[in-house]
Amino acid sequence: MRHGEVHNPDGVLYGRMPGFHLSELGRSMAQKASDDLKARGRRVSAVIASPLQRTQESAASIASAFELPVETDARLIEPTNHFEGTVMARALRNPLNWAWLVNPLRPSWGEPYRAIETRMLAAVNDAFDSVDEPDGRPADVVLVSHQLPIWVTHLSIAGERFMHDPRDRRCSLSSITTFERRDGALVEVGYADPAAALAEQSTDTGAV
Q: Specify if 70 maps to a domain.
A: yes
Across the range 167-192, mean pLDDT stands at 96
Lowest mean pLDDT among 47-51, 135-139, 188-192, 198-202: 135-139
Q: Specify if 91 maps to a domain.
A: yes
Q: Specify if 12 maps to a domain.
A: no
- The residue segments making up the domain with residue 51 are 24-201
Q: For residues 187 and 76, give the distance between their C-alpha atoms in angstroms, rounded to a whole number.
A: 19
Instruction: Report pTM.
Output: 0.94
Most confident of 99-108, 147-156, 196-205: 147-156
The CATH number of the domain holding residue 190 is 3.40.50.1240
| Region at 170 (left for phi over 0; alpha for psi -120 to 50; beta for the rest) | beta
**pLDDT of 134 over the 90 cut:** no
Q: Specify if 8 maps to a domain.
A: no
Transcribe 66-110 into DSSP letters: TT-PEEE-GGGSPPPBTTTTS-HHHHTT-GGGGGGGS-TTTTTTB
pLDDT tier for residue 208 given thresholds of 50, 70 and 90: confident
Q: By percentage, how much of the chain surpasses pLDDT 70?
A: 98
* Average pLDDT along the chain: 94
Q: Specify if 32 maps to a domain.
A: yes
pLDDT value of position 132: 74
